[in-house]
Structure 1
Amino acid sequence: MRATANGIEICYESFGSPEGRPLLLIMGLGMQMIGWDEDFIGLLVDAGHHVVRYDNRDVGLSTHLEEPADLMAALGGDTSGAPYLLADMADDTAGLLDALGWTSAHVVGVSMGGMIAQCLAIGHPGRVRTLTSIMSTTGPRVGPPTEAAMAALLTPPSPDREAAAERALASWRVIGSPGYAMDAERLARMARDSYDRGYDPQGVARQLTAILASPDRTEGLRGLTIPALVIHGEDDPLVTPPGGAATADAIPGAKLLTFPGMGHDMPRELWPVFVEAVSELTGREPG
């Protein structure tokens, strides 16, 4: 399904009964909405949620912009050429809520999606009922990546769909969860499907530039009054654990859950734990 929001077109998909608690899932850097596994979504639906996942701008089937981003300059500290910021992506999300007819929703974001969720809660008071921030951070200088993780992130673009699958597997070996087995078949399938749906390395560069150019959110998070949950892997090399700790410290009353052996992904074995924690949070807020 498609919706016009904030001047762009957003591709989204919904699951579960409209009578369920509205829950919006926001995916991370370069990842499409199919990164939210349907089995995981099924657990959320079974827990009483009406779930929507969507493609952020510049990935998948949502609008891809054309303005170039000088990523190398941004990595060097000059972010003046950023085509947009995370706050603009949060405005996209608020527009999607309007299109869905949701005055507010429970919001779960992973990695960059957690940053967007934070911006949404800060910039659009009243639209976020509860906030769950997974393997994310308050700003680009908090919980910085290891050298190996950054090198994996900046691997050259894949020339074809099979190379995209190989790149995904190689990336997981660097940033994935060392305490859990790699699901190679699922990772490769998702990479191929993502390549087919809309492979756009320049779009990913624009998203990464937005992360680097966006201001720290600590002060804004301190003003939140909504129930919040922070989930982080204790072995995350891409957004290292101080990022999660800083997020939980900044949000009054936020609950922090950390998991040994979890890297920068969501191991299937932990899905029931995540869903239980999110459901406990959303159940605290009427509606």
Structure 2
Amino acid sequence: MLDSGVRIAYERRGAGQPVVLVGGTGMPPVAWELCGLRDALVDAGCEVVTYAARGVAPSDAPSAPYSMADMAGDLAGLLDVLGIRSAVVIGYSLGSFTAELLVRKRPDLVRSMVLMAGAGPVTGVLEAVLDAEAELIGATGRLPAAFLRLQTLLTTLPGQVLLEDEKQVRAWLELLGAQDDIWASPDGAVGQSTAADGWLRDPGRIAALADVLVPVLVLAFEADLYFPPRAAKVAAEALPQGTFVTLPGAHGGLLTHPAETTAAILGFLTPS
């Protein structure tokens, strides 16, 4: 249990340079194992920490709303509890927001950082999604499971797959059918949505990247509707030590193109 009173479930694997993997919205820690990144980092000589962010089972889901200060505070508290004084922080989507705020609030904890599918200014598509989620929460107090499944499906797979590969679409729908079980309670989905909304609507967010002094890999997927390469490149150029890489795939490229993603991250951590 952290000083905030929130219980965070975590796992440590391997030995060596500490690396913490920070998941996206509703992302269970097992996803890092399924995409192969966790084991690749362990094999490369890293100690890897994965955890379930507040709202995601089996961690606690305090009452919504949440803020990114809450999410980053949980991560800082976890690293303090584990005695990790400096780590590579790899964030995906919402996890990138957490990583960004962590390095701004606790730069002592971050040795270097990867912002994957989660950096750059808000695009029109992303703004429309934020508005839809906020309206649903305001009207019903929750985010319906069917809405979350549709949203994830349409953004995880590239358009060509959605158009032509019905077998893969159906397989993803079946996988996403278990999404309800990911959340510790309905407050988890609402809380993480409100945290992302507040973060993305902050007008000073991009300018603040100039104060991030550690090496940062900004990783974009070429068909990402939320954070396309043109948006991610803005973030990379605002960072004093930013490196920009584009990979194939959509917003879910971490899962649909794991080999390319893992290679890019390992190349950043162990440059030749």
Q: TM-score range by the shorter chain?
A: 0.7 to 0.9
Is there any run of 5+ residues in structure 1 with no aligned partner, and where?
A: 68-82
Q: Residues 152 and 171 of structure 1 are in contact (CA less than 8 Å); yes or no, is this contact kept in structure 2?
A: no
More deviation, 194-203/31-40: 194-203
Q: Residues 3 and 77 of structure 2 are in contact (CA less than 8 Å); yes or no, is this contact kept in structure 1?
A: yes
User: Residues 171, 43 of structure 1: CA spacing in aligned structure 2 closer, same or farther, 3 A cutoff?
Assistant: same
Q: Residues 91 and 97 of structure 2 are in contact (CA less than 8 Å); yes or no, is this contact kept in structure 1?
A: yes
User: Residues 191, 35 of structure 1: CA spacing in aligned structure 2 closer, same or farther, 3 A cutoff?
Assistant: farther
Q: How does 1:66-85 map to 2 (within 5 A)?
A: 66-67=63-64, 83-85=65-67
Pick one of 180, 183, 195 that aligns with 1:195: 180
The aligned residue for residue 52 of structure 1 is 49
Distance 1:37 1:252 in 2: 32
Distance 1:130 1:206 in 2: 27
The aligned residue for residue 13 of structure 1 is 11
The aligned residue for residue 257 of structure 2 is 270
The one-letter code sitting in structure 2 at the alignment partner of 1:258 is T
RMSD: 2.9
Amino-acid identity (%): 31
1:153-184: CA deviation from partner (whole Å, max 9, x where unpaired):
669523xxxx79xx63x444411232667486
User: Residues 34, 186 of structure 1: CA spacing in aligned structure 2 closer, same or farther, 3 A cutoff?
Assistant: farther
Distance 2:131 2:56 in 1: 21
Structure 1 residue 5: deviation in Å? 4.6
Structure with the higher fraction of residues in helix conformation: 2
Q: Does 1:249 align with 2:231?
A: no
The aligned residue for residue 61 of structure 2 is 64
Equivalent pairs counted in the alignment come to 254
Structure 1 residue 200: deviation in Å? 2.9
1:53-88: CA deviation from partner (whole Å, max 9, x where unpaired):
111112211121124xxxxxxxxxxxxxxx442122
1:87-124: CA deviation from partner (whole Å, max 9, x where unpaired):
22111101100111100110000111001101011110
Q: Residues 218 and 250 of structure 1 are in contact (CA less than 8 Å); yes or no, is this contact kept in structure 2?
A: yes
The aligned residue for residue 137 of structure 1 is 119
Q: Does 1:259 align with 2:259?
A: no
SS in 1 for 2:103: helix
Q: Residues 142 and 242 of structure 1 are in contact (CA less than 8 Å); yes or no, is this contact kept in structure 2?
A: no
Q: Residues 109 and 115 of structure 1 are in contact (CA less than 8 Å); yes or no, is this contact kept in structure 2?
A: yes
Q: How does 1:208-287 map to 2 (within 5 A)?
A: 208-214=193-199, 215=202, 216-260=204-248, 262-268=249-255, 270-283=257-270
Structure 1 residue 269: deviation in Å? 6.0
Distance 1:42 1:52 in 2: 11
TM-score normalised by length of structure 2: 0.80
Is there any run of 5+ residues in structure 2 with no aligned partner, and where?
A: 137-141
Q: Residues 86 and 119 of structure 1 are in contact (CA less than 8 Å); yes or no, is this contact kept in structure 2?
A: yes
Structure 1 residue 208: deviation in Å? 1.4
Distance 1:134 1:222 in 2: 18
Q: Does 1:28 align with 2:24?
A: yes
User: Residues 100, 111 of structure 1: CA spacing in aligned structure 2 closer, same or farther, 3 A cutoff?
Assistant: same
User: Residues 5, 110 of structure 1: CA spacing in aligned structure 2 closer, same or farther, 3 A cutoff?
Assistant: farther
Structure 1 residue 236: deviation in Å? 1.0
User: Residues 46, 201 of structure 1: CA spacing in aligned structure 2 closer, same or farther, 3 A cutoff?
Assistant: same
The aligned residue for residue 155 of structure 2 is 175
Distance 2:42 2:267 in 1: 14
The aligned residue for residue 74 of structure 1 is none
Distance 1:127 1:56 in 2: 18
Distance 2:229 2:37 in 1: 24
The one-letter code sitting in structure 2 at the alignment partner of 1:104 is S
SS in 2 for 1:25: strand
1:231-256: CA deviation from partner (whole Å, max 9, x where unpaired):
11121113343431222122112111
The one-letter code sitting in structure 2 at the alignment partner of 1:195 is D
Q: Does 1:97 align with 2:95?
A: no
The one-letter code sitting in structure 1 at the alignment partner of 2:261 is F
Distance 1:152 1:213 in 2: 14
User: Residues 228, 267 of structure 1: CA spacing in aligned structure 2 closer, same or farther, 3 A cutoff?
Assistant: closer
TM-score normalised by length of structure 1: 0.76
Distance 1:156 1:85 in 2: 17
